[in-house]
Amino acid sequence: YILLGINDISNYDPDTCIENYRLLIDLILKKSPGCEIYIQSVTPKIKSVQDGVTNQEIFEYNLKLYRMCLEDGYHFIDVAYVLRDENGYLPDAYCSDPDTMGMHFKDEACAAWIQYLRTHTK
């Protein structure tokens, strides 16, 4: 299970991030041939904090991750699905840092994330 998150897309363009994923996965598969790879989507930010990487950029990046998984035969898990409100934002009730970064989770969000993983993977 791999999730490289917002830090990667904050520092690199999306195509470089995808290549970094491919490099990391190649290194993993060299050490553990045949293991199944699960890629998790990047999770959203709350509505009031959209400086830096925006939710639109996160969504577009997740589409690129999904395409990479389809092309390369990896499993894509859209954990962001369970961590978005009806408008695509992280619900304020799930956010532990609403006055600063607007992206880190409270325990309730982690529980929803874990439950999603349990019900959407083998």
- Rounded Cα distance between 105 and 96, Å, is 5
Task: Determine the pLDDT at residue 23.
Answer: 96
- pLDDT tens, position by position, for the chain (122 residues)? 999 888 888 888 999 999 999 999 999 999 999 999 999 999 999 999 878 889 999 999 999 999 999 999 999 999 999 999 999 999 999 999 999 998 999 999 999 999 999 999 87
**Contact yes or no for 79/44 (Cβ under 8 A):** no
Instruction: Confirm if 40 and 79 have CB atoms less than 8 A apart.
Output: yes
